[in-house]
């Protein structure tokens, strides 16, 4: 089985964006919010939005199941206040739930959280619980910078985040560390902010002792772990200079990197330096990069090809395509088994 | 000849730091500033600070010349105002000049700039000119984020920076894009802020049209280009999606990456995906990572070994060790030739 751990609903029907635009107008004119109805989207619209995109690409590229969450760049936790964020988050998560209900063999849900700049992460625990217990989701996307490029929250290792981590541990679900769009002109979203956030989170984990406090807490750092595998010597060396334990003990029991690295040499580096058990197959399709690489004739984000073409053994490939995902997302196995026997 | 493009004076005599501490106290108590004398450092102290560190490592590792600048993490442009930054900058640059005078065969100078949050980059032009014309320096370190981790300046492609670029072009000197310490708790300086800044700068260059306006302007992006080579497919794909010209034309005529990547697989990736003519040998010694890699028995930052061990041809290695540096720093050749004939 080929499990893609990183897919966002980037092709949602336009009614979703229409709702969001009305909601944003309502920030300045609250009277609009009172009458704002949730987007009216039919099952057929959902099918149409997926058939020609994610489902076609699953078939063409040969993946089976996508761990699917709302569009990351549209989370935009920096827009409006907590109440705005919560309503938008619920609308987005409920839409993912409908996708999963329509295509239970193709998708499993991961939720957006109702974060907001300055709002305690504890306030996101209820929506996480709703998504896991009521909607059957298996994880969440956690934004380390709800300010959208101003980095005003404490590091992920700060106790500020602990109440949310307690809920994650209780529910046995991981978080993908994933920022949203950037409202800081310095940072292009998918070209700088995303990658920087991945790198930043990993270094925070080195500095802190988070996994001493939460031995079963799990994070996925997407986009191949940001800059980390390329600078693996730097990170090992910094940890050593800082008298931290070796990374294998200190961080890598709890952290996974996905394979959203869009060329063969990058994937080869990832597979070479990062332990295989820490790597999850991911493509982020349909996502940040949509074109065809003229040097290969294939889509940049067809990351399965790079794994297939690597020198890993069949057993190692199986770990990356399926086995590791079952460990990273403990609820996934139960869901797959239940579906199989249904 | 082996030219290391990236060395900072991290081992300066403690009188320099004493001066800085007094200066920082003077921010709150300006009466202290009036009587603050420049640090009194003897030639012998300078020799002692280098003989057992940079000079010993040059000998041991087999490099000849280090392009040498003040300690990057100590630039701390976010401390105090423009006047504080200018005085500190001049003190640091003058000390580099003394190093170069004492060891003209081993070092050539690159200056810190008197940047300050919100201060127009134009205000840095005079100190750059002084360092180049009076002290014989061949480049500068340009901080894209003088706020120290809050990223409050416009992107490097913004016209805000143009007056400084005009001076760089006039003087024919490049800038290394180099942030300083971080006062944002999210960002570890050498483990996150440095690498993020490298990645961010490159993406800004993709988004903008800076090199159309300044065809001869040159930047060195240190630390192996941040995350860029690892995500080379992402950057090529983003440029393509954004209808930018191919990176070779759009950015790579003006941008160099150094080799401050502290393990063999990372260097191998860099050498594989980035055109050889865009790579400059650098080690950042004595710098961010000071330990010995237990997996190799060698210093992490002994980056010459990684180049030596690579599969590049002798001609390619010569480009990285010397030839490209002469192109990136047009004043370097004249200085070396003058020294030789002296």
Strand ranges in A178-275 using DSSP code E only, listed in sequence order: 219-221, 255-258
| Option in A145, A153, A293 nearest B233 (CB) | A293
Give kind and range of the element (H or E) at residue B60: helix B56-61
Supply the pLDDT for residue B340: 78
How much of chain B is helix, strand and coil, in % rounded to 5?
50, 10, 40
- From the list B158, B200, B261, the residue facing A192 with the nearest CB is B200
Mean residue pLDDT of chain A comes to 97
A256 backbone dihedrals φ, ψ, rounded to 5°? -120, 150
Asked whether the beta carbons of residue B150 and residue A151 sit closer than 8 angstroms, the reply is yes
Q: Is the pLDDT of residue A93 over 80?
A: yes
Q: Which residues pair with A257 in a beta bridge?
A: A221, A279
Residue of chain A whose alpha carbon sits nearest to that of B302: A233
State residue B28's pLDDT score.
Answer: 93
- Give the pLDDT score at B210: 98
Gap between the Cα atoms of A99 and A159, Å rounded: 35
> Which of A230, A248, A250 should be substituted to probe chain B, the one whose Cβ sees the most B Cβ atoms within 10 Å?
A230
Which residues in chain A touch residue B184, judged by CB atoms under 8 angstroms apart? 151
CA distance A277 to A280: 8
Answer yes or no: do A289 and B233 touch at CB < 8 A.
yes
CB contact under 8 A, B199 and A188: no
Q: Please determine, for residue A342, whether its predicted confidence score (pLDDT) is greater than 80.
A: no
- How is residue A83 written in tokens? 């109440």
> How much is the mean pLDDT over chain B?
97
| pLDDT for residue B288 | 87
Which residues in chain A are contacts of B188 at CB distance < 8 A? 203-204, 206-207, 238
pLDDT 10s digits, A150-191: 999 999 999 999 999 999 999 999 999 999 999 999 999 999
How far from A22 is each of A39, A43, A93, A105, A243, CA to CA, in Å? Answer: 10, 22, 18, 34, 52
Taking only the tens place, the pLDDT of each residue in A198-246 is 999 999 999 999 999 999 999 999 999 999 999 999 999 999 999 999 9
Which residue of chain A is at minimal alpha-carbon distance from B265? Answer: A269
Q: Quick: pLDDT tens for A258-305.
A: 999 999 999 999 999 999 999 999 999 888 899 999 999 999 999 999
Spans of chain B below 70 pLDDT: none
All domains in chain B, ordered by first residue: 3-341 (3.20.20.140)
Q: State residue A326's pLDDT score.
A: 97
CB atoms under 10 Å from CB of A299, counted, come to 21
| Average pLDDT score over residue span A120-124 | 98
Kindly report the pTM of this predicted structure.
0.98
pLDDT given for residue B16 in this prediction: 98
Could you tell me if the ipTM is greater than 0.95? Answer: yes
Give the per-residue pLDDT at A46: 98
According to DSSP, the β-strands at A298-299 and A292-293 are antiparallel
Structure confidence at residue B105 (pLDDT): 95
Question: Would you place residue A11 in the very low, low, confident or very high pLDDT band (cuts 50, 70, 90)?
Answer: very high
Residue B279: what are its φ and ψ, rounded to 5°?
A: -115, 130
The residue-averaged pLDDT of A112-124 equals 98
Q: Is B82 a catalytic residue?
A: no
């Amino acid at each position: 089985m080929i499990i893609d751990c990183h897919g966002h609903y980037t092709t949602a029907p336009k009614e979703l964006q229409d709702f969001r635009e009305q909601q944003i107008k309502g920030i300045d004119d609250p009277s609009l919010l009172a009458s704002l109805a949730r987007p009216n989207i039919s099952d057929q619209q959902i099918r149409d939005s997926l058939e020609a995109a994610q489902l076609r690409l699953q078939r063409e590229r040969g993946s089976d199941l996508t761990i699917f969450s709302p569009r990351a760049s549209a989370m935009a936790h920096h827009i409006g206040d907590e109440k705005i964020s919560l309503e938008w988050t619920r609308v987005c998560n409920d839409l993912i739930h409908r996708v999963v209900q329509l295509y239970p063999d193709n998708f499993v849900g991961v939720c957006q959280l109702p974060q907001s700049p300055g709002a305690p992460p504890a306030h996101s625990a209820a929506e996480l619980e709703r998504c896991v217990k009521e909607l059957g989701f298996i994880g969440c996307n956690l934004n380390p910078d709800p300010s959208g490029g101003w980095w005003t929250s404490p590091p992920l290792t700060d106790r500020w985040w602990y109440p949310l981590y307690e809920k994650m541990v209780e529910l046995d679900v991981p978080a993908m560390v994933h920022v949203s769009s950037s409202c800081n002109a310095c940072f292009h979203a998918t070209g700088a902010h995303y990658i920087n956030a991945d790198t930043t989170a990993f270094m925070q984990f080195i500095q802190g002792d988070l996994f001493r406090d939460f031995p079963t807490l799990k994070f996925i750092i997407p986009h191949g772990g940001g800059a980390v595998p390329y600078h693996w010597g730097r990170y090992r060396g910094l940890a050593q200079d800082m008298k931290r334990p070796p990374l294998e003990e200190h961080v890598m029991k709890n952290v996974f990197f996905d394979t959203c690295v869009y060329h063969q040499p990058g994937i080869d580096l990832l597979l070479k330096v990062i332990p295989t058990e820490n790597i999850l197959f991911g493509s982020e399709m349909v996502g940040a990069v949509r074109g065809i690489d003229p040097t290969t004739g294939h889509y940049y984000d067809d990351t399965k090809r790079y794994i297939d073409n690597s020198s890993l053994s069949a057993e190692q490939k199986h770990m990356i395509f399926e086995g590791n995902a079952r460990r990273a997302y403990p609820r996934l196995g139960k869901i797959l088994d239940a579906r199989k026997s249904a």
